[in-house]
Structure 1
Amino acid sequence: MEVYNWTVTAEQEAERIDKLLTSFEGWSRSQVQQWIKEGAVTINEQAVKSNYKVAEGDQITLTVPEPEPLEIKAENIPLDIVFEDEDVIVVNKPRGMVVHPAPGHYSHTLVNALMYHCKDLSGINGVIRPGIVHRIDKDTSGLLMVAKNDRAHESLVSQLKAKTTKRLYKAIVHGVIPHQHGTIDAPIGRDKKDRQSMAVTDENSREAVTHFTVLECFANHTYVQCELETGRTHQIRVHMKYIGFPLVGDPKYGPKKKTVDIEGQALHAAVLGFVHPRTGEELEFEAPIPAEMEEVLRYLRSM
């Protein structure tokens, strides 16, 4: 059990307590809200609600409870491990695999496989997401970094928040992009018309920035590389749709009429770079696009 104490400064005054706490150590907002609900957060020795707005001089205390024992079942599922040491695992996740258990997907996830392979994973995200620092969608393939202890987890999350990690994706989109490079700076939040989807919106949104470079153009499609400056849910998929070039095969944000034979969006996390949390060494890894995307590129080149 760890206890944290802070004193609210003048610059932090009027900030919601749940939002303020997420800025301190890189915890997720949902995790902070759960701790508040459980009474683990007090201000001036009094329990508060998530929407409490702090005042200068407030004394904040957070008592982080011990992680619950893991109850998710370990499964002997093969993993494509690109790098591993005592602190970090870098995995090349296949298309079709869910990252962590969730309603409807309590087995056959990356977490189930990791738990079989590795007995030590960070407990910061609790029983459902041990070790998971960031996610990619089920039908997005590619590189993920996983923390094997809490120290590594906190370091990797801090790097993500500071925008110092390197995350390059490769994607195939509908339409021919007329310029070589571009930056999409458009906030992303829940779609008001469909709460299961994300959209570019000014309402309850968060900053989202994607840089892209055209790799190859075809008759009606473009092969692009996207670099994430931020990491919002479905960010590349939403941003490319927003500028009129939705991802090929995307069942949620792409055109309803299927033009290319691929299951799920043509999106791959190709390059991942970060500073090792213990040694300080700059690490960078690359994974080739999966066979399904290679097949789509061959088809488009032959048209």
Structure 2
Amino acid sequence: MRRYCPPTEPFLSVIYSDEALLVLDKPCGLLSVPGRDPAHRDSLATRAQERFSEALIVHRLDMDTSGLLVMARSPEVHRKLSAQFQSRQVEKAYVAKVWGELTEDCGEIDLPLICDWPNRPRQKVDFEVGKPSLTRWQKISTAAGCSLVRLKPVTGRSHQLRVHMEAIGHPILGDPFYAHRRALVAAPRLLLHATELAFTHPETGERLRFTSTPDPEWFQ
């Protein structure tokens, strides 16, 4: 098991805040919520709660994934935002750098997923008992045997984007769970960033859209 060494700079990156909610930019290497081990207490949620004590987590990003995440500032807002996620009214998009040069410009990955219990938290494709999982992808560019892609998860399964890209032969670079050796060592971190997030403000009804630019040193 890897030692947990979350980044401390920036300690908390607030993209947007009002009386109802927060939109945060999570760095790679930081848990979204505390782990069971006391050594894993540091997380985006606990950091946010040091400044906004009432903040409640609505959804999560994998520890190795960076990018946009929304938190609620009251139980009622939490309920309304959670309902939007459950009914797929929230728009999410990611940027990833993957192994291999994609030949098509866009496509869909429709493969059912389930937890690989003996190897959790890994997930796997399972056509018998897996839950329906759909990812849409669009190629941004290709260079030096790799591709930059925009990923849109229609469903929200754990590790969905990571498993789906590996399943079609294009694992995300730096993925400690699913990348083969060459793809793993091709980057110092998982090159997956939550770059777009859109939802309806639970109190005003306004459609909010946020973007976050991934680190250009690696995502190009």
2:59 matches 1:134: yes
| 1:158 partner letter | A
**Equivalent residue runs for 1:99-110 within 5 Å:** 99-104=32-37, 105-110=39-44
Q: Is the 8 A contact 2:92 2:152 kept in 1?
A: yes
Offset from partner CA, 1:219-254 (integer Å, 9 cap, x none): 311000001111111110000011111000101000
2:211 matches 1:286: yes
Q: Is the 8 A contact 2:201 2:207 kept in 1?
A: yes
Q: Is the 8 A contact 2:171 2:183 kept in 1?
A: no
| 1:99 partner letter | S
Distance 1:188 1:245 in 2: 17
Three-state SS of the structure 1 residue aligned to 2:218 is helix
Distance 2:49 2:96 in 1: 30
| 2:62 partner letter | D
2:122 matches 1:197: yes
Offset from partner CA, 1:18-77 (integer Å, 9 cap, x none): xxxxxxxxxxxxxxxxxxxxxxxxxxxxxxxxxxxxxxxxxxxxxxxxxxxxxxxxx9x7
2:82 matches 1:157: yes
Which has the higher Rg, Structure 1 or Structure 2? 1
Distance 2:128 2:52 in 1: 41
Q: Which of residues 9, 21, 44 in structure 2 aligns to 1:88? A: 21
The aligned counterpart of 1:295 is: 217
The aligned counterpart of 2:4 is: none
2:195 matches 1:270: yes
Q: What do you get for the CA RMSD once the two structures are aligned?
A: 1.8
**Equivalent residue runs for 1:216-235 within 5 Å:** 216-235=141-160
Q: Which of residues 140, 152, 155 in structure 2 aligns to 1:215? A: 140
Distance 2:203 2:95 in 1: 30
Gaps of 5+ in 1: 1-74, 122-130, 299-303
Distance 2:205 2:28 in 1: 31
Displacement of 1:192 in angstroms is: 5.6
Moved over 4 A (4+): 258-261
Higher relative contact order (CA 8 A, sep 6+): 2
Q: Is the 8 A contact 2:172 2:183 kept in 1?
A: no
Offset from partner CA, 1:144-180 (integer Å, 9 cap, x none): 0101111111111111111111100000000111111
Gaps of 5+ in 2: 1-7
**Corresponding pairs, count:** 211
Distance 2:141 2:78 in 1: 37
| 1:201 partner letter | D
Structure 1 length normalisation: TM-score?
Answer: 0.66
2:178 matches 1:244: no
Distance 1:219 1:262 in 2: 13
Offset from partner CA, 1:177-228 (integer Å, 9 cap, x none): 1111111111110126523310111344222111100000113110000011
Three-state SS of the structure 2 residue aligned to 1:264 is coil
Three-state SS of the structure 1 residue aligned to 2:138 is strand
Displacement of 1:108 in angstroms is: 2.0
